[in-house]
Amino acid sequence: MNLTQIQIYRCPKFTGSEGPIPASEPAHAIAATIREAFHRRETGEAKVILMAMYGHGHFDLISYQNYLKGNMVDLSFAEEKIQASLAKVPQIMA
């Protein structure tokens, strides 16, 4: 799932209802979970959505501050560039 920085840092809304400030890594999972919940609401499909969260965002507070002040740059990468980069990663046989 491709998510932008702004979509990730919308997770303080999660904090307002659940309490913890997520680190940027679990914020991806939260954003994806929220997106999935909205999709299920739109389609009317009842489905249990389970999300696990680890870590806290105490070291990410400057990034959250930039988001809340509207100073965050929303970076995104084209899917074809992502795939081209992944194609360069060597295969490692276990």
Q: Where are the domains of the chain?
A: 5-87
Question: pTM of the predicted model, to two decimals?
Answer: 0.54
Q: Mean of the per-residue pLDDT values for the chain?
A: 80
- How would you label 41-62 residue by residue, b for 16+ Cβ within 10 Å and e otherwise? eeeeeeeeeeeebeeebeebee
Q: Work out the burial of residue 12: count CB atoms within 10 Å of its CB; fewer than 13 is exposed, 13-18 middle, 19 or more buried.
A: middle
Question: Sorting pLDDT into bands at 50, 70 and 90, what band is 18?
Answer: low
Q: Whole-angstrom Cα distance, residue 48 to residue 40?
A: 10
Q: Which residues, including other chains, have CB under 8 Å from residue 8's CB and lie 6 or more apart?
A: 24, 27, 28, 31
pLDDT in tens, 55-86: 666 677 787 788 889 898 877 788 899 899 99
Per-residue model confidence (pLDDT) at position 84: 95
